[in-house]
């Protein structure tokens, strides 16, 4: 039962879990319209950010009678760095949205057209690439140095540093299953030797989750599809630590993605069992 339903929705109401969208509807018709608008806005933002090589970590939308308040945090990938360098001759993507007012204008203009210019739209951005290392504890920094030493055989791989950064964010922030699922989807779309990447991912997760400073008790990843060029689809499961899906009180964050590749369609599911310790994010 715990593996067949959305673990996040199943636990709303426990452990201070709440919806990422909040609104007040006067009747059923208005509620249906708000749900449809929320779905379309999320779909548009996810597609736009993925196109520019940005991974959305957390997206919250609050509706009032005259306003739409959108707050989101994002991670800048290597693909985003290459794309942003080619836009207006940027040499450094550190201040992505300050140097790209056009990007924000595109979002505001599209959302304004979608709402027929009847609502005020306010968007708040947070870049996860900045100042994360300043908030890490000394024990966690020592764990990072030790993991780089243990995994030195993978140092020359192009996805090594980016994968390490993503895992550090997953362990440091709340509700991090989405950023991990989208990053895995991006890698599985582009990489040819997918099994080698998953082997490296499992070893890295084992090192970080076994440390005393880890705020994650377990991670489970299930990938279904033709990972190789075989005719039949298979399922690969990666489980590190403990993930009690049957326990309702367990703080589990869940996300799923669909990948479209030359070998067919993949299904990707990620469960993250969070500890009750304090996190860096909200």
249 vs 4 pLDDT, higher one: 249
Instruction: Tell me: do 118 and 180 sit in the same domain.
Output: no
Average pLDDT over residues 31-39: 88
Instruction: Tell me: do 139 and 270 sit in the same domain.
Output: yes
List, for residues 93-148, the tens digit of each pLDDT value. Answer: 445 445 544 677 888 888 888 888 888 998 888 888 776 655 677 777 888 888 88
Instruction: Tell me: do 54 and 74 sit in the same domain.
Output: yes
Instruction: Tell me: do 123 and 228 sit in the same domain.
Output: no
pLDDT band at 174 (very low <50, low <70, confident <90, very high): confident
| 26-60: b (≥16 Cβ within 10 Å) or e | eeeeeeeebeebbeebbeebbeebbebbbbbbbbb
**CATH number, residue 220:** 3.30.1140.32
| pLDDT for the residue numbered 16 | 66
Count of domains observed in the chain: 2
Instruction: Tell me: do 155 and 240 sit in the same domain.
Output: yes
The answer as to whether 281 is a domain residue is no
Does residue 222 have a pLDDT over 90?
A: yes
| pLDDT for the residue numbered 135 | 64
| pLDDT for the residue numbered 276 | 56
**Contacts made by residues 4-8, CB under 8 angstroms, sequence distance 24+:** 6/254, 7/245, 7/252, 7/253, 7/254, 7/271, 8/252, 8/253, 8/254, 8/255
Instruction: Tell me: do 140 and 258 sit in the same domain.
Output: yes
The answer as to whether 2 is a domain residue is no
Instruction: Tell me: do 118 and 146 sit in the same domain.
Output: no
Whether residue 73 contacts residue 281, with contact meaning beta carbons closer than 8 Å, is answered with: yes
Which sign does the torsion angle of CA 220, 58, 76, 213 carry? negative
List, for residues 73-85, the tens digit of each pLDDT value. Answer: 888 887 777 666 6
The answer as to whether 240 is a domain residue is yes
Instruction: Tell me: do 71 and 183 sit in the same domain.
Output: no
| pLDDT for the residue numbered 240 | 92
- Domain carrying residue 102: 7-127
Count Cβ atoms within 10 A of the Cβ of residue 240 and give its class: 0-12 exposed, 13-18 middle, 19 or more buried. Answer: buried
| pLDDT for the residue numbered 9 | 76
């Amino acid at each position: 039962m715990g593996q067949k339903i959305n673990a996040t929705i199943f636990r709303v109401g426990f452990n201070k879990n709440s919806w990422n969208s909040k609104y007040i509807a006067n009747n059923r018709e208005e509620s249906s319209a708000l749900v449809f608008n929320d779905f379309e806005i999320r779909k548009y933002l996810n597609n736009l950010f993925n196109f520019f090589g940005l991974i959305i970590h957390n997206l919250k939308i609050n509706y009032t009678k005259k306003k739409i308040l959108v707050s989101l945090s994002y991670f800048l990938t290597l693909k985003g760095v290459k794309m942003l360098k080619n836009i207006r001759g940027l040499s450094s993507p550190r201040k992505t949205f300050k140097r790209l007012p056009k990007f924000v204008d595109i979002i505001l203009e599209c959302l304004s057209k979608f709402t027929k210019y009847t609502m005020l739209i306010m968007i708040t951005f947070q870049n996860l690439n900045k100042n994360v290392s300043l908030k890490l504890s000394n024990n966690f920094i020592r764990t990072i140095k030790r993991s780089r030493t243990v995994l030195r055989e993978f140092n020359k791989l192009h996805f090594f540093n980016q994968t390490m950064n993503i895992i550090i964010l997953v362990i440091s922030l709340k509700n991090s299953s989405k950023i991990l699922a989208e990053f895995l989807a991006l890698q599985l779309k582009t990489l040819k030797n997918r099994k080698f990447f998953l082997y490296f991912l499992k070893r890295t997760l084992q090192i970080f989750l076994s440390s005393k400073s880890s705020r994650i008790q377990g991670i489970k990843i299930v990938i279904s599809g033709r990972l190789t060029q075989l005719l039949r689809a298979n399922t690969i499961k990666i489980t590190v630590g403990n993930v009690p899906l049957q326990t309702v009180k367990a703080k589990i964050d869940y996300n799923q993605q669909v990948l479209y590749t030359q070998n067919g369609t993949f299904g990707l599911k990620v469960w993250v069992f969070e500890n009750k310790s304090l996190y860096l994010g909200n």
